[in-house]
């Protein structure tokens, strides 16, 4: 449902993006690097090399991490598909663009109509550009606008669905399902996306550098995988994530508002319906299946003979709760929702590095500009990670900043997680001593200096939702102290555990 009474976005920061043509400098050998841009959807840190789940099996991601630099403290700009991807691809924060919900797409925002995006930069520079799967949020780029983003758009790979749902969740949304399906991997959307990416690599013109993007759809629900992937995670030995039953006792009421009425079930429902372990198992099975498809793409790159001059970037658009903080899904400002895998490998990148400095998906744009020999862009809000790609211990002064809906922000450093909500309520966690974020320190006066220091990173620009904003939109009026979820006034008394 569209949100009314909204204000337009300022254009001052965006003007430079469309003011000058894109120029790409070549390296001394005259060979511009290729880019293989690989994404997964809703993948948290349940990856072997990140250790988010002790049983996660991701051999291809792990091998890629050894080939390059793994950022172990990487975070997204928004814990929702459209604003996260829009931020990464424009190089602008959600609080700058006003894109917080599942709509609108960037080209439907007046101030962004001519903004030069990351893929558009490579397209304009003469690269052969190709995309398959989900890179932009589905439907956010209309067909008329697609050619200026990528030169060619391939297989989208929507997931297959069984004739009937396996799991009847509270709102019975079709996508909120998990189970063993289909019988053949070849019928999976991610198999088809991998096949498209393999063919794109094989057929890429030799006389041009390429930018090939493959956006895989798992482990986003529905979590379907064939039997062999489930067999890797026997139910009787499967480990569930650690949870604390009173975990929300010291979190503000406003923390519930960020995921007020969503199709993802609460932990209480998963437990009552014996679906917690099946969901965890399906999530891991889907992750391992898609890891195998990433392996197919990386093998094709090696076989092409162009691997040595190709920068590989692997990322996820946000994380996913599987019971932690008593919820499933994303839409939160805690680590389970914000922390994602981020890997760079290829020319100019030191192999077998683990970097604990805070990194943001917002940093991908300026990093690829520098690695590709493009001039820097003053309008981008991220910061190049090239110093850390050369030396993982290189200092980095910026934290990672995540925003979910208007004026709700999370600040993540190497030690701290600080959250400030639109109503002024706060959370503070010592991530070194309390990685599960079980003890909110914000009310302890001795941490006031820490909060004061972290507060300086709260974005100064906080745009209201742009016209056309829809789905997952939360607003707050400080004058009336009322919160509104998708055009409906929130009644805290209606809170469901």
CB 359 within 8 A of CB 70: no
For tokens 């190497």, the residue is 414
Other beta carbons within 10 angstroms of residue 25's beta carbon come to: 10
CB 268 within 8 A of CB 276: no
E strand spans, 42-195: 69-75, 128-133, 152-153, 178-180
Distance set, CA 151 to CA 124, 139, 154, 247, 260 (Å): 10, 17, 10, 48, 39
Reply yes or no: is the peptide bond before residue 222 cis, omega within 30 of 0. yes
Backbone phi and psi for residue 190, each to the nearest 5 degrees, phi listed first = -70, -30
Other beta carbons within 10 angstroms of residue 105's beta carbon come to: 21
CB 343 within 8 A of CB 62: no
What is the spatial distance between Cα 219 and Cα 289, in angstroms, rounded to a whole number?
9
Dihedral over Cα of 456, 463, 426, 317: its sign: negative
Tokens of 439: 């003890």
Q: Is 38 exposed, middle or buried (0-12, 13-18, 19+ CB in 10 A)?
A: buried
The DSSP code sequence of 294-363 is HHHHHHHHHHHT-GGGEEEEEEES---EESGGGBEES-SSSHHHHEEEEEEESTT--SSEEE-S-EEGGG
Backbone phi and psi for residue 123, each to the nearest 5 degrees, phi listed first = -65, -45
- Catalytic annotation, residues: 81, 137
E strand spans, 8-77: 34-41, 69-75
Tokens of 442: 């914000």
């Amino acid at each position: 449902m569209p949100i009314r009474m909204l204000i337009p976005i300022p254009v001052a920061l965006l003007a430079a993006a469309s003011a000058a043509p894109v120029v790409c400098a070549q390296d001394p050998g005259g060979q511009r690097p290729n880019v293989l841009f690989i994404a997964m959807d809703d993948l948290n840190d349940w990856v072997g090399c990140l250790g988010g789940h002790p049983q996660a099996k991701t051999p291809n991601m792990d091998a890629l991490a050894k080939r390059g630099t793994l950022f172990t403290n990487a975070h997204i700009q928004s814990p929702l598909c459209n604003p996260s991807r829009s931020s990464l691809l424009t190089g602008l924060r959600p609080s700058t663009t006003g894109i917080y919900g599942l709509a609108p797409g960037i080209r439907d925002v007046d101030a962004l109509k001519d903004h030069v995006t990351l893929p558009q930069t490579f397209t304009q520079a003469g690269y052969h550009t190709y995309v398959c799967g989900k890179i932009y949020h589905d439907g956010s780029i209309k067909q008329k606008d697609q050619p200026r983003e990528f030169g060619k758009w391939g297989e989208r790979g929507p997931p297959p669905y069984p004739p009937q749902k396996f799991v009847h969740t509270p709102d019975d949304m079709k996508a909120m399902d998990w189970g063993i399906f289909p019988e053949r991997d070849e019928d999976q959307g991610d198999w088809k996306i991998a096949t498209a990416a393999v063919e794109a690599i094989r057929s890429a013109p030799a006389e041009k550098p390429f930018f090939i993007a493959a956006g895989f759809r798992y482990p986003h629900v529905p979590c379907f995988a064939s039997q062999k992937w489930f067999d890797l995670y026997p139910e009787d030995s499967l480990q569930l994530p650690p949870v604390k039953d009173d975990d929300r006792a010291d979190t503000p009421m406003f923390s519930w508002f960020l995921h007020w009425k969503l199709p993802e079930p609460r932990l209480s429902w998963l437990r009552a319906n014996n679906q917690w372990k099946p969901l965890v198992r399906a999530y891991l099975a889907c992750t391992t299946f898609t890891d195998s498809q990433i392996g197919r793409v990386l093998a094709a790159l090696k076989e092409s003979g162009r691997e040595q001059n190709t920068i590989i970037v692997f990322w996820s658009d946000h994380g996913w709760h599987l019971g932690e903080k008593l919820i499933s899904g994303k839409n939160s400002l805690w680590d389970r929702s914000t922390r994602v895998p981020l890997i760079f490998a290829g020319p100019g990148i030191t192999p077998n590095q683990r970097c604990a400095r805070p990194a943001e998906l917002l940093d991908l744009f300026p990093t690829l500009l520098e690695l590709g020999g493009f001039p820097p862009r003053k309008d981008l809000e991220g910061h190049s990670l090239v110093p850390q790609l050369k030396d993982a211990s290189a200092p980095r002064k910026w934290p990672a900043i995540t925003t979910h809906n208007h004026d709700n922000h999370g600040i993540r450093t190497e030690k701290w997680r600080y959250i400030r909500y639109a109503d002024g309520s706060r959370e503070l966690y010592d991530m070194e001593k309390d990685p599960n974020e079980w003890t909110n320190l914000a009310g302890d006066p001795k941490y006031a200096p820490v909060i004061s220091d972290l507060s300086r990173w709260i974005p100064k620009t906080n745009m209201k939702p742009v016209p056309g904003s829809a789905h997952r939109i939360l607003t707050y009026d400080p004058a009336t102290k009322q919160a509104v979820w998708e055009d409906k006034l929130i009644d805290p008394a209606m809170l469901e555990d």
